[in-house]
Amino acid sequence: MNIFRILGDVSHLLAIIILLLKIVKSKSCAGISGKSQILFALVFTTRYLDLFTNFISVYNTVMKVIFLICAYVTVYMIYVKFRKTFDSENDSFRLEFLLVPVTGLSFLENHSFTPLEILWTFSIYLESVAILPQLFMISKTGEAETITTHYLFFLGLYRALYIANWVWRYHTENFYDQIAVVSGVVQTIFYCDFFYLYVTKGRQTGRCNTEKFI
C-alpha cells in the first residue's frame, strides 16, 4: 500500500458513488452507457473471484465487495428500475468488438495458464476498454451532463494514480506487472482528450459540449 494506491482507490470509489447518486437523485439514467456499466460489472466479477480463495487484508476484501455491489446496483438501476429513462438508441456500441479480442488476448498473454489467472487477465484487458461505450455515447450525442463528466474525470484520475502507484512500486519494491501497466496506460490514453474538454469546457456550463471529442 502507498498513497497513490489509496488515492486511486478513493477516486475510483468516488466515481462510482457520483454515478449512483446521479441516478438516484434524478431518477434517470440519461447520458449513462448501460453497456459500459455491464462491462465494469464483468470486470469486477472476473477479477475478484479470489474473494473465495485468497484473503489479503480486510481493506482489500471490503473494497472488492463494495465495487461488486455498486457495479450490479448500477446495472439494476439502468436496466430495471429506471429502464424507461435509458437511452438505448445512443448506447449503440457493439460489445463484441471489445469482448472477442479481449478474450483472445487473455488466453494468449497471461502470467499462467490457469482459469483464475486467465479471468484476472481478462478483467485487466477489459477494464482498459470498458469505458469506450460511454465515450462513444458522449461523442454521438455531442454533450454530457456535468455530473457524468465528473464521473469520467474521477475514473481517469483513478487510472492516472494507479500508474503513479506502479512507478512507486517499481522504484521501492522493484515490482513490475507488464500486463497491468500496459493496460492501465492504454486506458488512461482514452481519457486524455476527455480530460482536456473537462478542464476547458466542463466547468464553464451545466453541460459539457463534446463535439470535438472523437
For the stretch 48-88, pLDDT in tens is: 998 988 888 999 999 999 999 999 999 999 999 999 999 99
Place of cell 474521477: 154
Model confidence pLDDT, tens digit, residues 11-54: 999 999 999 999 999 999 988 999 999 999 999 999 999 898 88
Place of cell 522493484: 174
What sign has the CA pseudo-torsion 4, 132, 31, 208?
A: positive
**CA gap 80, 115 in Å, rounded:** 32
**How far is the CA of 67 from the CAs of 55, 73, 104, 176, in angstroms?**
17, 10, 26, 25
Give, to the nearest 10 degrees, the angle between helix 178-197 and helix 146-173: 140
User: pLDDT category, 212, cuts 50, 70, 90?
Assistant: very low
**What's the pTM?**
0.86
Cell of 191: 481519457
Q: Are 34 and 79 in contact (CB under 8 A)?
A: yes
Residue 143 β-bridge partners: 209
User: pLDDT category, 133, cuts 50, 70, 90?
Assistant: very high
